[in-house]
Structure 1
Amino acid sequence: MKYSAIITDIEGTTSRISFVTDVLFPYARQHLPDFVRSQQQLPEVAQELAAVRQQLQAPDADVEQCINALISWLDADQKITPLKSLQGMVWRAGYQQGHFTGHLYPDVIAQLQAWHAQGINLYIYSSGSVAAQQLLFHYSDAGDLTPLLSGYFDTRIGAKRELSSYAAILQQLQLPPNQVLFLSDVIAELDPARALGIATVQLIREQQAPSDHPTAHDFYQIEV
């Protein structure tokens, strides 16, 4: 077995990009304001609102100012941690109420199961919060797939285009880079991983431009 661990991106890799842009983002945009207003006393929500105020450098910002900032960040697709955390809470409510299920390509479902059966540890690294990642796999099209996964990484470990983020992941995995495979559709994420010696495969599912990384059109084509 070449790899002890496989790390995979979500958007454009395990899941349609349009699932996020056409389902999750509009749902969050519609429901986030009322969610924050009605749940602002919950400790987990209050903590994220404090982080919003810190981000704005406005410690006295009221809830409506925080909501306006969150919506503007959402519209600009900003990878800001308190936004991602609050989005995750809104999505949790949506998943739990059955408003949608987490989209995964059928080849992803089959291969995650196969790789897990082979003893390979599987991890997710996405700019969406860990909570949002767990929801997608818990409420997936194929049911609860979280037992297949050994861990999750989000922007708290670092931005996905920064070499230091992949160094931090390797430190957590306690594995040499040549035993780790990273899957993504984004060249700018694959480049820093490869620079550290991590094996890479670029997924080309939706007209992504190919690169000098090994490529695959689905998970069946990936040699592990």
Structure 2
Amino acid sequence: MPIKVILTDIEGTTSAVSFVFDVLFPYARQHLPAFLRERAAEPAVAEQIAAVRAESGEADADLERVIAILLEWIAADRKATSLKALQGMVWAQGYRAGQLKGHVYPDAVAALRAWHAAGYTLGVYSSGSIQAQKLIFGCSEAGDLTALFDAYFDTTSGGKREAASYARIAAALGRPAGEILFLSDVVEELDAARAAGMATCGLAREGGELAGHRTVASFAAIDPAAC
């Protein structure tokens, strides 16, 4: 079945892991407390604060306790949807202020542009919120890349190591799973995508193999027509 859709992970795949851990996470950790204290009453922010209380099991947590919980989650790299949403809001301020620029590998930029021009449907599936995904690509060092993408998916579609998540994404895209190529640097994610029927290709930018999957070191080595 020929590939029609290319679905890509971000962290470690299109973008350096170090950008997330050395730039984005520290920025959120530094600015999140003041952001929440200033904007806690705004509906979108209040909704996520309520979600933090629910997910933590601390329904009566005051704002300072909520902040402490979020900082603990950042330190643990917890994949909490509420945390990702709030981080995205903080990062949005940083991008708008010019304090942040999204990192995307040049080989990924070139390939994504070529695939888009060739008529492939491009999508993103990352544990970061959809807002954060759009910020990385929209305010990237290579300019605004968001026009290249047709769809964005985050953990609201399910965990990235669960085959059912990829089945949901295929349904949302309106394509058979066999027409979708998924790119990631995590073998368990590739396994889940394959279990759902997708084609897979692993990115190992420092070399090595992702067991059971074709593995390359650069987007330049990926030919969707051959997958």
TM-score interval, smaller chain: over 0.9
Contact 2:185–2:210 (8 Å) recurs in 1? no
Q: CA deviation at 1:208?
A: 5.6
Shift of 1:209: 4.6
Deviations 1:118-163 (A, max 9, x none): 1111000000000000000100111111011001000000010011
SS of corresponding position for 1:123: strand
Give, in whole Å, the separation in 1 of the partners of 2:65 and 2:155.
24
Cα distance, 1:25–1:148 mapped onto 2, change above 3 Å = same
Q: What corresponds to 1:162 in structure 2?
A: 162
CA distance in 2, matches of 1:197, 1:117: 26
Tell me what 1:66 maps to: 66
Match of 1:107 in 2: 107
Shift of 1:212: 1.8
Provide TM-score, normalisation by structure 1: 0.97
1:19 partner amino acid: F
Query: Residues of 1 paired with 2:209 and 2:17: CA distance?
Result: 15
| Distance (Å, rounded) in 2 between the aligned partners of 1:19 and 1:152 | 20
Once the two structures are superposed, the pairs formed by residues 182-221 of structure 1 within 5 Å of their partners are 182-207=182-207, 209-221=209-221
**Helix, strand or coil: the match of 1:156?**
helix
1:207 offset after TM fit, Å?
Answer: 4.8
How many residue pairs match? The answer is 224
Deviation at 1:206, TM superposition (A): 2.9
Check whether the contact 2:207–2:217 (CA below 8 A) recurs between aligned residues.
no
CA distance in 1, matches of 2:45, 2:170: 31
Structure 1 gap segments, 5+ residues each = none
Q: Distance in 2 between matches of 1:51 and 1:210?
A: 35
Report SS of the residue matched to 2:188: helix
C-alpha distance 95-33 of structure 1, shift in aligned 2 (>3 A): same
Which residue does 1:51 correspond to in 2? Answer: 51
Contact 1:5 1:120 survives alignment (8 Å) = yes
Q: Please give the alpha-carbon distance, in whole angstroms, between the structure 2 residues aligned to 1:89 and 1:73.
A: 16
Question: Paired residue for 1:144?
Answer: 144
1:32 matched to which residue of 2?
32
Say if 1:86 and 1:164 are closer, same or farther in 2 by CA, change over 3 A: same
Contact 1:163-1:193 at 8 Å conserved across structures: yes
How far does residue 39 in structure 1 lie from its aligned partner after superposition? 0.8
Q: State the Cα distance separating 1:7 from its structure 2 match.
A: 0.3
Alignment partner, residue 132 of structure 1: 132
Q: Does 181-190 or 212-221 show the bigger shift?
A: 212-221
> Counterparts of 1:57 and 1:16 in 2: how far apart (Å)?
34
Check the 8 A contact 1:137/1:144 in 2, yes or no: yes
Task: Name the aligned partner's letter for residue 188 of structure 2.
Answer: A
- Say if 1:177 and 1:198, in contact at 8 Å, map to a contact too: yes
Deviation at 1:104, TM superposition (A): 0.4
CA positional deviation for 1:222: 0.5
- Give the gaps of 5 or more residues in structure 2: none
Identity %, equivalent residues: 54
Cα distance in structure 2, aligned partners of 1:210 and 1:126: 18
Aligned partners of 2:140, 2:213: CA distance in 1, in Å?
29
1:41-87 CA deviation, whole Å, 9 max, x = no partner?
Answer: 11110010010111122222110011011000110110001100000
Which 4+ runs in 1 deviate beyond 6 A?
A: none
